[in-house]
Amino acid sequence: MNIPAVTNEDIIRYTKMFNKLNPALEKLMEETNQRTDVLPCIQRDTACFLQFIIQREKPLKILELGTAVGISTITMALVLPENGQITTVERGHMFVAEAEKNFENFKLNHKITQILGDVTEVVPNLQGDFDLIFQDSGKQTYLPLLDDLVRLLRPGGLLIADDTLFPAMDLPERNQKSQRAVNRFNQAVFAHPRLKSFILPIGHGITIAEKDKNS
Ligand SMILES: C[S@@+](CC[C@H](N)C(=O)[O-])C[C@H]1O[C@@H](n2cnc3c(N)ncnc32)[C@H](O)[C@@H]1O
The CATH number for 99's domain is: 3.40.50.150
**In this structure, is residue 8 part of a structural domain?**
no
Q: Is residue 14 in a domain?
A: no
Residue 165 lies in a domain: yes
84 in a domain, yes or no?
A: yes
Tell me which residues have their CB closer than 6 angstroms to ligand 1: 39-42, 66, 68, 71-72, 89-92, 95, 118-120, 136-138, 141
Residue 164 lies in domain = 25-30+40-211
Looking at residues 44-71, what average pLDDT do you find? 98
Is the model's pLDDT at 86 over the cut of 90? yes
Domain count for the chain: 1
Whether 51 is in a domain gets the answer: yes
- Measured by CA distance, the residue closest to atom 20 of ligand 1 is 118
**Residue spans of beta strands (DSSP E) within the chain:** 61-65, 85-90, 112-116, 130-135, 153-162, 195-200, 206-211
- Whose Cα sits closest to atom 23 in ligand 1? 137
CA-to-CA dists, residue 86 to 80, 161, 193, angstroms:
9, 16, 27
Residue 131 domain flag: yes
Q: List pLDDT tens digits, range 179-195.
A: 999 999 999 999 999 99
**pTM (2 decimals)?**
0.98
The reply to whether 142 falls in a domain is yes
Cα 190 to ligand 1 centroid, rounded to whole Å: 23
178 belongs to a structural domain? yes
